[in-house]
Amino acid sequence: MHRARPRGTVQGRERDTHLAREFSPESGFDNFSDYPGYFDYFDYFDYSLDSFFGSCFNLFVTSRMIVARNLTQRYPGTLERGPLTVLSGVDLHIERAEVVVVLGPSGSGKTTLLGLLAGLDRPTEGGVTLDGVELSQLDENGRASLRAESLGFVFQNFQLIPTLTALENVLVPLELLPKGRRLDSAAAQRRATELLSRVGLESRTGHYPAELSGGEQQRVGIARAFANEPKILFADEPTGNLDRETGHEVADLLFALNRERDTTLVIVSHDLELSQRAGRTVHLNAGRIERIEQVERTERDKQPST
Ligand code: ADP
Ligand code: MG
Protein backbone atom coordinates (compact mmCIF):
# COMPACT_ATOMS: atom_id res chain seq x y z
CA MET A 1 0.00 0.00 0.00
CA HIS A 2 1.08 3.59 -0.32
CA ARG A 3 1.71 5.22 3.00
CA ALA A 4 -1.04 7.58 3.98
CA ARG A 5 -0.14 11.17 3.33
CA PRO A 6 -3.29 12.90 4.39
CA ARG A 7 -1.92 16.39 4.11
CA GLY A 8 -2.75 17.69 0.68
CA THR A 9 -4.92 14.72 -0.16
CA VAL A 10 -7.83 15.81 1.97
CA GLN A 11 -9.74 18.65 0.49
CA GLY A 12 -12.84 20.57 1.31
CA ARG A 13 -14.12 23.70 2.89
CA GLU A 14 -11.81 24.81 5.64
CA ARG A 15 -14.50 25.21 8.27
CA ASP A 16 -15.94 21.72 7.98
CA THR A 17 -12.78 19.89 7.05
CA HIS A 18 -11.84 18.80 10.51
CA LEU A 19 -9.83 15.91 9.24
CA ALA A 20 -7.70 18.15 7.04
CA ARG A 21 -7.16 20.46 9.97
CA GLU A 22 -6.46 17.52 12.21
CA PHE A 23 -3.49 16.66 10.06
CA SER A 24 -2.25 20.17 9.49
CA PRO A 25 -0.24 22.40 11.82
CA GLU A 26 -2.38 24.51 14.03
CA SER A 27 -1.62 26.73 16.95
CA GLY A 28 -2.87 25.95 20.41
CA PHE A 29 -5.30 27.17 22.96
CA ASP A 30 -3.36 30.01 24.52
CA ASN A 31 -6.19 32.09 25.76
CA PHE A 32 -7.63 29.88 28.47
CA SER A 33 -8.68 32.34 31.08
CA ASP A 34 -9.06 31.75 34.80
CA TYR A 35 -10.93 28.73 35.98
CA PRO A 36 -14.39 30.06 36.72
CA GLY A 37 -15.05 27.86 39.74
CA TYR A 38 -17.99 26.16 38.12
CA PHE A 39 -18.27 23.23 40.47
CA ASP A 40 -19.08 23.83 44.09
CA TYR A 41 -16.45 21.47 45.36
CA PHE A 42 -13.79 23.13 43.28
CA ASP A 43 -14.52 26.36 45.08
CA TYR A 44 -12.40 24.96 47.89
CA PHE A 45 -9.40 24.95 45.62
CA ASP A 46 -7.42 27.60 43.95
CA TYR A 47 -7.58 25.74 40.68
CA SER A 48 -4.63 27.48 39.09
CA LEU A 49 -2.37 26.33 41.96
CA ASP A 50 -4.13 23.10 42.50
CA SER A 51 -4.67 21.71 39.03
CA PHE A 52 -2.64 18.64 39.95
CA PHE A 53 -5.06 17.74 42.75
CA GLY A 54 -7.90 18.74 40.49
CA SER A 55 -6.68 16.25 37.91
CA CYS A 56 -6.32 13.50 40.53
CA PHE A 57 -9.82 14.27 41.73
CA ASN A 58 -11.05 14.05 38.20
CA LEU A 59 -9.24 10.79 37.50
CA PHE A 60 -9.87 8.90 40.70
CA VAL A 61 -12.87 10.33 42.49
CA THR A 62 -15.12 11.02 39.57
CA SER A 63 -15.23 9.32 36.21
CA ARG A 64 -15.42 12.60 34.37
CA MET A 65 -14.13 12.33 30.82
CA ILE A 66 -14.88 15.77 29.40
CA VAL A 67 -15.17 19.04 31.27
CA ALA A 68 -15.99 22.15 29.27
CA ARG A 69 -15.92 25.43 31.15
CA ASN A 70 -17.39 28.64 29.89
CA LEU A 71 -16.71 27.67 26.27
CA THR A 72 -17.17 30.71 24.11
CA GLN A 73 -16.41 31.14 20.42
CA ARG A 74 -16.54 34.49 18.70
CA TYR A 75 -15.61 35.35 15.14
CA PRO A 76 -14.33 38.86 14.44
CA GLY A 77 -16.45 41.09 12.27
CA THR A 78 -15.62 42.07 8.70
CA LEU A 79 -16.47 45.18 6.71
CA GLU A 80 -19.73 43.52 5.66
CA ARG A 81 -20.80 42.04 8.98
CA GLY A 82 -20.28 42.54 12.68
CA PRO A 83 -18.59 40.12 15.07
CA LEU A 84 -20.44 36.85 15.62
CA THR A 85 -20.72 34.91 18.88
CA VAL A 86 -21.50 31.34 17.89
CA LEU A 87 -21.00 29.70 21.29
CA SER A 88 -21.51 31.41 24.59
CA GLY A 89 -20.48 30.27 28.08
CA VAL A 90 -21.07 26.57 27.58
CA ASP A 91 -20.46 24.49 30.72
CA LEU A 92 -20.73 20.74 30.31
CA HIS A 93 -19.36 17.59 31.92
CA ILE A 94 -19.52 14.20 30.37
CA GLU A 95 -18.75 11.00 32.26
CA ARG A 96 -16.64 8.10 31.13
CA ALA A 97 -18.56 5.73 28.79
CA GLU A 98 -21.50 8.12 28.70
CA VAL A 99 -23.43 8.69 25.48
CA VAL A 100 -24.44 12.31 24.96
CA VAL A 101 -26.38 13.54 21.96
CA VAL A 102 -26.19 17.25 21.11
CA LEU A 103 -29.35 18.63 19.53
CA GLY A 104 -30.20 22.03 18.16
CA PRO A 105 -31.31 23.91 15.08
CA SER A 106 -28.94 24.44 12.19
CA GLY A 107 -26.45 27.17 13.04
CA SER A 108 -26.88 26.77 16.81
CA GLY A 109 -23.19 25.92 17.28
CA LYS A 110 -23.19 22.11 17.45
CA THR A 111 -20.27 21.55 15.08
CA THR A 112 -18.40 24.41 16.72
CA LEU A 113 -18.92 22.82 20.14
CA LEU A 114 -17.67 19.44 18.91
CA GLY A 115 -14.59 21.04 17.36
CA LEU A 116 -13.76 22.80 20.63
CA LEU A 117 -14.36 19.73 22.80
CA ALA A 118 -12.07 17.71 20.56
CA GLY A 119 -9.35 20.36 20.61
CA LEU A 120 -9.59 20.89 16.86
CA ASP A 121 -10.42 24.55 17.33
CA ARG A 122 -9.34 27.06 19.93
CA PRO A 123 -12.02 28.77 22.01
CA THR A 124 -12.11 32.53 22.37
CA GLU A 125 -12.78 32.00 26.06
CA GLY A 126 -13.05 29.06 28.39
CA GLY A 127 -11.34 25.71 28.37
CA VAL A 128 -11.68 21.97 28.01
CA THR A 129 -10.28 19.13 30.08
CA LEU A 130 -10.22 15.69 28.48
CA ASP A 131 -9.69 12.78 30.85
CA GLY A 132 -7.93 15.07 33.30
CA VAL A 133 -5.74 16.74 30.69
CA GLU A 134 -6.20 20.49 30.33
CA LEU A 135 -6.01 21.18 26.59
CA SER A 136 -4.74 24.72 27.00
CA GLN A 137 -1.67 23.34 28.80
CA LEU A 138 -0.61 21.37 25.73
CA ASP A 139 1.25 22.73 22.74
CA GLU A 140 0.22 21.75 19.23
CA ASN A 141 2.28 18.56 19.26
CA GLY A 142 0.86 17.59 22.63
CA ARG A 143 -2.69 18.11 21.42
CA ALA A 144 -2.00 16.27 18.18
CA SER A 145 -0.72 13.24 20.06
CA LEU A 146 -3.60 13.39 22.52
CA ARG A 147 -6.01 13.36 19.57
CA ALA A 148 -4.09 10.62 17.80
CA GLU A 149 -3.99 8.50 20.92
CA SER A 150 -7.30 9.10 22.62
CA LEU A 151 -9.88 10.57 20.26
CA GLY A 152 -11.89 9.36 17.30
CA PHE A 153 -14.01 11.35 14.85
CA VAL A 154 -16.90 10.47 12.59
CA PHE A 155 -17.82 13.19 10.11
CA GLN A 156 -21.16 13.80 8.49
CA ASN A 157 -19.59 13.89 5.05
CA PHE A 158 -17.38 10.87 5.79
CA GLN A 159 -14.09 12.61 4.95
CA LEU A 160 -12.40 9.49 3.72
CA ILE A 161 -9.19 10.01 1.80
CA PRO A 162 -10.21 9.36 -1.81
CA THR A 163 -6.83 8.04 -2.94
CA LEU A 164 -6.74 5.34 -0.26
CA THR A 165 -8.70 2.10 -0.12
CA ALA A 166 -11.11 1.34 2.73
CA LEU A 167 -8.41 -0.66 4.49
CA GLU A 168 -5.80 2.07 4.02
CA ASN A 169 -8.22 4.70 5.35
CA VAL A 170 -8.68 2.66 8.52
CA LEU A 171 -4.90 2.28 8.79
CA VAL A 172 -4.33 6.07 8.83
CA PRO A 173 -4.97 6.59 12.58
CA LEU A 174 -2.85 3.55 13.37
CA GLU A 175 0.06 5.11 11.53
CA LEU A 176 -0.42 8.31 13.52
CA LEU A 177 -0.21 6.59 16.90
CA PRO A 178 2.73 7.67 19.05
CA LYS A 179 5.74 5.36 18.83
CA GLY A 180 5.05 3.56 22.10
CA ARG A 181 1.60 2.45 20.96
CA ARG A 182 2.26 1.90 17.28
CA LEU A 183 1.49 -1.59 15.99
CA ASP A 184 3.76 -3.38 13.58
CA SER A 185 2.48 -3.51 10.07
CA ALA A 186 1.00 -7.02 10.30
CA ALA A 187 -0.83 -6.22 13.55
CA ALA A 188 -2.12 -2.92 12.11
CA GLN A 189 -3.44 -4.74 9.03
CA ARG A 190 -5.11 -7.29 11.29
CA ARG A 191 -6.79 -4.63 13.39
CA ALA A 192 -7.97 -2.63 10.38
CA THR A 193 -9.31 -5.77 8.72
CA GLU A 194 -11.07 -6.84 11.91
CA LEU A 195 -12.67 -3.41 12.29
CA LEU A 196 -13.87 -3.46 8.70
CA SER A 197 -15.46 -6.84 9.22
CA ARG A 198 -16.96 -5.55 12.47
CA VAL A 199 -18.77 -2.96 10.34
CA GLY A 200 -19.71 -5.59 7.76
CA LEU A 201 -17.25 -4.55 5.07
CA GLU A 202 -14.89 -7.50 4.94
CA SER A 203 -15.56 -7.86 1.23
CA ARG A 204 -14.86 -4.18 0.53
CA THR A 205 -11.41 -3.66 2.04
CA GLY A 206 -9.76 -2.95 -1.33
CA HIS A 207 -12.46 -0.56 -2.53
CA TYR A 208 -11.79 3.16 -2.90
CA PRO A 209 -14.33 5.56 -1.37
CA ALA A 210 -15.79 6.39 -4.79
CA GLU A 211 -16.56 2.69 -5.20
CA LEU A 212 -18.56 2.56 -1.97
CA SER A 213 -22.12 3.64 -1.18
CA GLY A 214 -22.71 6.46 1.33
CA GLY A 215 -23.62 4.00 4.07
CA GLU A 216 -20.53 1.94 3.35
CA GLN A 217 -18.33 5.03 3.42
CA GLN A 218 -19.79 6.01 6.76
CA ARG A 219 -19.09 2.53 8.08
CA VAL A 220 -15.46 2.86 6.93
CA GLY A 221 -15.46 6.20 8.78
CA ILE A 222 -16.65 4.46 11.94
CA ALA A 223 -14.08 1.68 11.60
CA ARG A 224 -11.43 4.37 11.17
CA ALA A 225 -12.70 6.32 14.19
CA PHE A 226 -12.41 3.24 16.40
CA ALA A 227 -9.03 2.13 15.03
CA ASN A 228 -6.97 3.80 17.76
CA GLU A 229 -9.39 2.50 20.44
CA PRO A 230 -10.27 6.05 21.45
CA LYS A 231 -11.45 6.99 24.90
CA ILE A 232 -13.83 9.47 23.33
CA LEU A 233 -15.55 9.35 19.98
CA PHE A 234 -17.00 12.55 18.52
CA ALA A 235 -19.53 12.07 15.75
CA ASP A 236 -21.06 14.95 13.79
CA GLU A 237 -24.41 13.88 12.37
CA PRO A 238 -23.12 10.38 11.66
CA THR A 239 -26.45 9.24 10.23
CA GLY A 240 -27.37 12.55 8.58
CA ASN A 241 -26.50 11.42 5.06
CA LEU A 242 -27.83 7.91 5.37
CA ASP A 243 -31.17 6.32 4.60
CA ARG A 244 -33.23 5.14 7.56
CA GLU A 245 -32.18 1.53 7.46
CA THR A 246 -28.46 2.28 7.10
CA GLY A 247 -28.73 5.00 9.73
CA HIS A 248 -30.20 2.42 12.07
CA GLU A 249 -27.31 0.03 11.42
CA VAL A 250 -24.77 2.79 12.02
CA ALA A 251 -26.49 3.72 15.29
CA ASP A 252 -26.40 0.08 16.43
CA LEU A 253 -22.76 -0.06 15.57
CA LEU A 254 -21.88 3.05 17.56
CA PHE A 255 -23.74 1.81 20.62
CA ALA A 256 -22.27 -1.69 20.34
CA LEU A 257 -18.76 -0.28 20.19
CA ASN A 258 -19.61 2.01 23.11
CA ARG A 259 -20.71 -0.99 25.19
CA GLU A 260 -17.84 -3.22 24.14
CA ARG A 261 -15.09 -0.68 24.68
CA ASP A 262 -16.59 1.78 27.17
CA THR A 263 -15.98 4.55 24.66
CA THR A 264 -17.49 7.90 25.60
CA LEU A 265 -19.68 9.06 22.72
CA VAL A 266 -20.51 12.68 21.94
CA ILE A 267 -22.85 12.71 18.97
CA VAL A 268 -24.39 15.66 17.17
CA SER A 269 -27.58 14.35 15.67
CA HIS A 270 -31.19 15.08 14.81
CA ASP A 271 -31.78 11.36 14.59
CA LEU A 272 -34.57 10.49 17.01
CA GLU A 273 -33.28 6.96 17.42
CA LEU A 274 -29.84 8.17 18.49
CA SER A 275 -31.20 10.68 20.97
CA GLN A 276 -33.63 8.15 22.47
CA ARG A 277 -30.79 5.73 23.03
CA ALA A 278 -28.42 8.34 24.52
CA GLY A 279 -27.87 8.76 28.25
CA ARG A 280 -28.41 12.53 28.03
CA THR A 281 -29.37 15.04 25.40
CA VAL A 282 -27.88 18.51 25.36
CA HIS A 283 -30.08 21.09 23.64
CA LEU A 284 -28.19 23.98 22.08
CA ASN A 285 -29.88 27.12 20.90
CA ALA A 286 -28.15 30.20 19.53
CA GLY A 287 -24.82 29.11 21.01
CA ARG A 288 -26.10 28.40 24.51
CA ILE A 289 -27.16 25.27 26.34
CA GLU A 290 -30.91 25.60 26.61
CA ARG A 291 -31.41 22.45 28.65
CA ILE A 292 -29.90 19.05 29.36
CA GLU A 293 -32.19 16.06 29.59
CA GLN A 294 -31.57 12.70 31.16
CA VAL A 295 -33.07 10.14 28.82
CA GLU A 296 -35.51 7.81 30.51
CA ARG A 297 -35.04 4.33 29.26
CA THR A 298 -36.06 0.78 29.95
CA GLU A 299 -33.69 -2.17 29.92
CA ARG A 300 -35.12 -3.15 26.56
CA ASP A 301 -34.18 0.22 25.05
CA LYS A 302 -30.57 -0.33 25.99
CA GLN A 303 -30.29 -3.41 23.83
CA PRO A 304 -29.62 -3.07 20.11
CA SER A 305 -32.94 -3.01 18.38
CA THR A 306 -32.05 -5.47 15.65
P1 ADP B 1 -24.43 23.83 13.59
O2 ADP B 1 -23.43 22.72 13.52
O3 ADP B 1 -25.26 23.81 14.83
O4 ADP B 1 -25.30 23.88 12.38
P5 ADP B 1 -22.11 25.54 13.45
O6 ADP B 1 -21.39 25.26 14.72
O7 ADP B 1 -21.58 24.89 12.23
O8 ADP B 1 -23.65 25.21 13.64
O9 ADP B 1 -22.12 27.11 13.21
C10 ADP B 1 -22.68 28.00 14.13
C11 ADP B 1 -22.67 29.39 13.53
O12 ADP B 1 -21.33 29.84 13.42
C13 ADP B 1 -23.23 29.47 12.14
O14 ADP B 1 -24.07 30.59 12.08
C15 ADP B 1 -22.04 29.62 11.25
O16 ADP B 1 -22.33 30.31 10.10
C17 ADP B 1 -21.06 30.35 12.13
N18 ADP B 1 -19.64 30.04 11.85
C19 ADP B 1 -19.06 28.85 11.94
N20 ADP B 1 -17.75 28.92 11.64
C21 ADP B 1 -17.51 30.21 11.33
C22 ADP B 1 -16.33 30.97 10.93
N23 ADP B 1 -15.15 30.38 10.78
N24 ADP B 1 -16.48 32.29 10.73
C25 ADP B 1 -17.67 32.90 10.91
N26 ADP B 1 -18.80 32.27 11.28
C27 ADP B 1 -18.73 30.95 11.49
MG1 MG C 1 -23.04 21.26 12.06
The whole-number pLDDT of residue 179 equals 84
Give yes or no for residue 75 CB within 6 A of ligand 1.
yes
- Looking at the domain assignment, is residue 68 inside a domain? no
Question: What pLDDT, on the 0 to 100 scale, is given for residue 302?
Answer: 56
In this structure, the answer to whether residues 110 and 250 fall within a common structural domain is yes
Strands, sheet with 125-130, edge to edge from the N-terminal-most edge strand = 84-95, 64-75, 125-130, 133-134
- Answer yes or no: is 1 within a domain: no
Same domain, 286 and 193: yes
The predicted pLDDT at position 303 comes to: 55
Is 281 within a domain?
Answer: yes
- Nearest ligand to the CA of 78 is 1
Domain count within the chain: 2
Going from the Cα of 59 to the center of ligand 2, the distance in angstroms, rounded, reads 31
pLDDT of 37 reads 30
**Contact status, residue 127 vs residue 32, Cβ threshold 8 Å:** yes
**Within 13 Å and on the Cβ side, how many CA atoms surround 46?**
2
Give me ligand 1 centre to Cα 156, in Å.
15
Considering only residues 183 and 16, tell me which one the structure prediction assigns the higher pLDDT.
Answer: 183
Instruction: Quote the mean pLDDT of the chain.
Output: 80
List of long-range contacts for 196-201, beta carbons under 8 Å, 24+ apart: 196/166, 196/167, 196/170, 196/220, 196/223, 198/223, 198/253, 198/257, 199/223, 199/253, 200/249, 201/166
pLDDT of residue 169: 97
What pLDDT does 15 receive? 37
Note the pTM of the prediction, 2 decimals. 0.78
pLDDT in tens, 46-86: 444 445 555 555 555 457 899 999 999 999 888 888 889 99
Asked if residue 187 and residue 38 are part of one domain, the reply reads no
One domain for residues 116 and 229: yes
Residue 114 lies in a domain: yes
Per-residue pLDDT band at 22 (split at 50, 70, 90): very low
Residues 221/160, Cβ–Cβ less than 8 Å: yes
Nearest CA to ligand 1 atom 16: 107
Same domain, 103 and 47: no
Co-location of 58 and 102 in the same domain: no
- Residues with Cβ within 5 Å of ion ligand 2? 110-111
pLDDT at 112 over 50: yes
Which of 212, 210, 209, 250 has the alpha carbon at shortest distance from 233?
250
pLDDT digits (tens, 9 = 90+) for 138-189: 988 888 889 999 999 998 888 999 999 999 999 999 999 988 888 999 999 9
Do 54 and 120 have their domain in common?
no
State whether the beta carbon of 109 lies less than 6 angstroms from ligand 1.
yes
CA 111 to ligand 2 center in whole angstroms: 4
Q: Is the CB of 84 under 6 A from ligand 1?
A: yes
For the Cβ of 86 lying below 6 angstroms from any atom of ligand 1, the answer is yes
Q: Which atom of ligand 1 is nearest to the CA of 105?
A: 3
